[in-house]
Chains A and B, each alone.
Chain A
């Protein structure tokens, strides 16, 4: 683990000794936005945890835009505020490069290692491109860990109805169906967790996989749930990012997140096969209505992507989709305009059949995941067309309906998961 620390960081950690709270901020060329995040975190620590020793760790991927300088020089904390109780110790700041594959997961690994080295009781991670972060987020993410012995706190935001479509269409319904915990934003990006859980994460040998990249969020959530850690949620209001997300190429992002999820299904299949109901997860904070930024979505482009995918990738789809699923997909996808629709049962079957194919390596895993992107875009377009006139609560109800379909079809997944090992029952040869 010590190899993760450059000499400068080792020295700094020796000087600090121990800390109660470590707040990690992964970054890569985020000089434009990270200052605001550091200020919000500093104020949050000073305001809500004045008696705690705290450290802010910026784990950087080699930024060339002075991100490090912005982090270290950002104002904030006790000196700028009128506080009722003044902090015993001002929070320390560290900006360090991380080792390993370039990606958010590798940045988190360094943060976990720092938390372990400082024997931190609680650790919080927040994205560096947040525009809606407030000091209260730090309290909401750290307090349940420090005061109520929770091990993992996932965020709970209000988001635009078109936002977070991988979350709403795949990851949330599947996490809830498979692991029985209704964590609404399992890949939210902001998390609070205990020092014990950070140490557990470090024990895992996953740092040369997609977990080192965008797969980290779902990996953290599923690991915490599947290994029986105490999980909660914190209501953070609205989540607004910086508009530009460096390196956010949809195909790689989708591949990393969904691939990590399918991989976790293999690791924890004994766990999810024995889950038969969904439990609500406690929510900290006071939910309130917030305005979210309007989004426009080009559904024509997404529909075209889905139609092209079904036309050009038929050979690949026939390798892992059941014949009837492929027939239904073809029929639904080739309806144009408002008639375009991918119904829930079809979508759920496609995802389950892809998960089974991933497990049994019915085709190259990377190819399998890439081939799902046009289907995902088609499903997203279908969802957008369906909820165009819907209010936020109606959209939540719509996602709830999708979750119930995932739950209803779970026996099909379990059956295929085991059956395909002996004989792949439904697929046609390529």
Chain B
């Protein structure tokens, strides 16, 4: 008959040793994977940065107008830096997924599976956001030019508003793709936007009634006058 001492101390120790014999190699694998992955991610970043610089990526991006945005963000030094850090983050992500898979616990395997299933949504949301940035920029610039050529005093404000509107729509669609509740955001935006327009209309129509009348009269008079007296061709 086994002694009380064995049952209280020796058996749990043996049990712990058995479990450790199974878990420690897994932990070692996870640990080594993370270290190697971190190193690979760092090398990937350095390599990508060098390759992008050799391919004159910064110069190409400057022409699209994204370079200014990237530099103004204050987070990335240049488009090459952004690209390199993106590759590093991607390698890190793959490393973590690999490590979780290597852990081979029900929770980690489930997490990896769910994440893999989620990847198409992430890609779609990313593309929507990217498209939103491009489209909002184009549309805002068109609005700015139209407003300046119509000599509207608040041209930049109009362009900024258009940009915010388009980007908000893009964010809402992206959130929809990520299956994160976007309805409250959309409703909040609609309320705020409508409120601003309503407030401006009241302010301009009532608060500055004379100015509104004079401004509209001046616009009508000057456009007619120019049409009638001036030939550009």
Contacts and interface: CB of A to CB of B under 8 A. Distances in A.
Interface of A: 162-167, 187, 189, 214, 217, 241, 243-245, 248, 250-251, 253-254, 257, 295-298, 301, 304-305, 308-309, 312-313, 315-316, 319, 361-364, 367, 370-371, 373-374, 423-424, 429-430
B228 A166 contact: no
A105 B58 CA distance: 41
A371 B145 contact: yes
B151 A308 contact: yes
Given A298-B226, A319-B65, A429-B62, A313 B233 contact: no
B149 A373 contact: yes
Interface string B137-166: 010011011111101010110000000000
Nearest to B79: A429
A296 B62 CA distance: 44
Contacts of A308: 148, 151, 153, 155
B214 interface: no
B232 A250 contact: yes
A346 to B, nearest CB: 20
B145 A164 contact: no
A367 B65 CA distance: 13
Contact of A423 (B59, B147, B231): B59
A248 B68 CA distance: 36
Interface residues of B, number: 30
A383 B222 CA distance: 20
A253 B65 CA distance: 27
Interface in B16-61: 59
A253 B232 contact: yes
Given A163-B230, A315-B68, A370-B149, 13 more contacts: A162-B230, A164-B232, A166-B232, A243-B228, A250-B149, A250-B226, A296-B229, A297-B229, A297-B230, A312-B147, A362-B63, A373-B149, A429-B65
12 contacts: A164-B233, A165-B232, A214-B233, A295-B230, A298-B225, A304-B151, A308-B155, A316-B141, A367-B145, A371-B145, A424-B63, A430-B65
A312 B149 contact: no
A171 B31 CA distance: 71
Nearest to A318: B68
B145 A295 contact: no
Contact of A241 (B62, B145, B146, B231): B231
A254 B232 contact: yes
B122 interface: no
A188 B141 CA distance: 33
B173 interface: no
Given A189-B233, A295-B230, A373-B149, A301 B222 contact: yes
A328 to B, nearest CB: 20
A430 B142 CA distance: 15
Given A308-B148, A374-B149, A164 B65 contact: no
Contacts of B227: 244-245, 248
B67 interface: yes
Contacts of A430: 62, 65, 67-68
A305 B152 CA distance: 9
